[in-house]
Amino acid sequence: MIEFKLDPKSGVPFYRQIIDQIRYGIAIGVLKVGEQLPTARALAVQLKINLNTVNKAYKELEIKNILETQQGSGTFIGSVGVSIPEKERRGKLESICDEFMNIASSYGFSIEDIIDELKKRIQN
């Protein structure tokens, strides 16, 4: 199961962030076919967002057969494979790096400081 995290500063609508996290979770194998997701209500409470936001995300993924909802049982990962195009993956990484660099530079860290810290983390 993945832990959903929403970033209100990203400018990306919450429902889109939920969709992306589910798609990426399936693509990297964290979410498996048949795995049950939290109910829309439970996820809305957990994320402290409107129930309609989660419903919108789940519905869009159902339309694409990525999710399957069984009345009374819950929402499950469907059997449709999900792959993330390389261009989309690169774009997501660039976006993450841009945000990260903006935050780090606002605290006065240089690129060298960031690289050194990342190298330390890789060694550990």
Chain segment 47-72, per-residue pLDDT in tens: 999 999 999 999 999 999 999 999 88
73: CB partners within 8 A, 6+ apart: none
Is the overall model pTM greater than 0.85, yes or no? no
Asked if residue 108 belongs to a domain, the reply is: yes
Asked if residue 4 belongs to a domain, the reply is: no
Asked if residue 8 belongs to a domain, the reply is: no
Judgement on whether residues 44 and 93 belong to the same structural domain of the protein: no
Work out the end-to-end distance of the chain between its first and last CA atoms, rounded to an integer number of angstroms: 26
Q: Find out whether 33 and 79 touch, Cβ atoms under 8 Å.
A: yes
Asked if residue 115 belongs to a domain, the reply is: yes
Judgement on whether residues 72 and 91 belong to the same structural domain of the protein: no
Measuring CA to CA, how many Å separate 113 from each of 108, 110, 117, 124?
Answer: 10, 5, 6, 17
Q: What is the pLDDT, as a whole number, of residue 124?
A: 82
Asked if residue 71 belongs to a domain, the reply is: yes
Judgement on whether residues 34 and 69 belong to the same structural domain of the protein: yes
Asked if residue 5 belongs to a domain, the reply is: no
Q: What is the pLDDT, as a whole number, of residue 25?
A: 95
Domain, as residue range, for 95: 86-123
Assign residue 69 the CATH number of its domain: 1.10.10.10
Q: Find out whether 51 and 59 touch, Cβ atoms under 8 Å.
A: no
Q: How many structural domains compose the chain?
A: 2
Judgement on whether residues 57 and 97 belong to the same structural domain of the protein: no
Torsion sign, CA atoms 4, 40, 60, 68: positive
pLDDT 10s digits, 66-122? 999 998 889 999 988 888 899 999 998 999 999 899 999 999 999 999 999 999 999
In the sheet where 74-77 sits, what is the strand order? 36-37, 74-77, 67-70
Q: What is the pLDDT, as a whole number, of residue 1?
A: 81
- C-alpha span between 84 and 53 (Å, rounded): 23
Judgement on whether residues 28 and 53 belong to the same structural domain of the protein: yes
